[in-house]
Amino acid sequence: MIKTSKYISPIGELKLISKNNKLIGVHIIRKESSKNTNKIIEDNDEPILIKTKLWLDEYFKGNKPNINELEIELIGTPFQKVVWNILKEIPYGELTTYGNLSKKVAEVMNKQKMSAQAIGNAVKNNPVNIIIPCHRVIGKNGNLTGYNSGLDIKIKLIEHEKIDMIKLYY
């Protein structure tokens, strides 16, 4: 069964989603979805959702909580999972580029090179925003490029992590 809980953060409302007491989603709410939610139950007592809220509290206090404190189940294609697992390795307060990310993915997948566009698509579909830090990925030469929840949110997260934005643009 899928369970959800809301979390009010400095960047807006987040929807936390779990399945079998594992975190499967953190979504930044821009507007309520009208999707059928018959099998989704709001549960503010679900242990993984409570733990996720505590993790987010620490993150938004400026601390650097360890992603490994949370049991996360990634739901996606094998390729997406490779990308998302590499995203987990980007340290708090640091950025990487889609190009660097594609090199790492190619290395993990034993390929000579990987399409930056395929990487960008996987990053865009990251189901566990903030915790799996897709906001730390930028284009070459400091281009902030798109962010599924909006560039304004990406900028707020980068500023929150005290990353120097002087060389970044959009």
Set 26, 101, 134, 153: catalytic member: 134
d(CA 18, CA 50): 11
The one-letter amino acid at 17:
I
d(CA 84, CA 67): 12
Residue 27 near residue 129, CB atoms below 8 Å:
yes
CB atoms within 10 A of CB 108: 13
Residue 43 near residue 3, CB atoms below 8 Å:
yes
Residues paired with 42 in a beta bridge = 4
By residue count, the chain amounts to: 170
Annotated catalytic residue 89: no
Active site residues: 134
